[in-house]
Structure 1
Amino acid sequence: MNGLKIVDCYGRDVYLGGYFERLVVNDVDVTAYVEAELDRRQPARALARDAASPEDYRAARDAIENLWSATIERARLLPSAKLHEQVDGEWSFVETQRHLLFACDAWLGNAVVEEEAPFHSLGLPAGEGHRTNRRSSASSAKPPRHSTKCSCHGSPAWPRCAVSWTS
């Protein structure tokens, strides 16, 4: 959205979510306030955004890895049904992990390394057909089972291995 302007209106319980380069409310630019609050809540945002040296990038990656590890540990405590549960039309935890796998494969395997077959069979692309795997027409109606085995966490290939999903 670019140039959206809403004037002379009354709102109650207004929710905005996403990335806004500039946000003005009642003629007050609140962009810096919102960014500062988001950075306070998630300090890794600032580390990643402001990284300027290899050491900075390593610190950002370590902070994100710590968050990721905590998320995976919390997920391992949930019953399988919760991992596959969608809330308010959003993807489930498993679907989100599958999409992150697809995104990493698209960026690293396809664009950077230019692998001949960069996409893992469990990767889940976004879009209208997001329930169908890119490599096959197999539906994800039968979701993969969660496995707590992870032999390569912390390796450079972590996106593919943070959690093992088997069908």
Structure 2
Amino acid sequence: MSVEAHTPDPSSPPPEATPETAPEPATAQRRRVARTAGLIAVAAVLGLVGGTAVGYGIQAEREPTPLPALNQPALAYPSKPLPKGQEPKPLSAAEDRGARTGGDLRKLLLPRPAGARAAEGRPEDGWMRVASYAGWYKDEGYILELLNESRIRRVATRSWQTGEHREAVVQ
């Protein structure tokens, strides 16, 4: 076996500079952009942490300010405190909201207009069961549960029809 030494061919061009010896301009620019972005991110985090710490320190040195009263004494019933042992007078019918709705709710419904007739396929005037009322909704199970939770026992209803295609239902 013979070993020959490799000698460069004088007619071939000399080898180019390898990338390991000189960085490309695009790589150097990417490094600078990444370094700048990193510095900005670090500065933002330090600013947030420092601002929070300074704000907390300033607030901790201040005396606490009292909060305003949450109650509204002008709206309380009775408006003035009563002497000990005395109970407030009951509300009048005009002041008591429960008195308006505690009786027969059918009296509060709109009256049927003159010349109107009973609507076909609609509930009759008077009371409607909660289950029947919930049946008019798309998701009747949900509505029935909601009405039962609200302790609705029945629904006052009145319906009428005027003309061929015009009907009204008040519940």
TM over 0.5: no
Q: Which has the larger radius of gyration?
A: 2
After TM superposition, the score normalised by the length of structure 2 is: 0.20
Name the one with the larger strand percent.
Answer: 2
Q: Output the TM-score relative to the length of structure 1.
A: 0.20
Of Structure 1 and Structure 2, the greater helix share is in 1
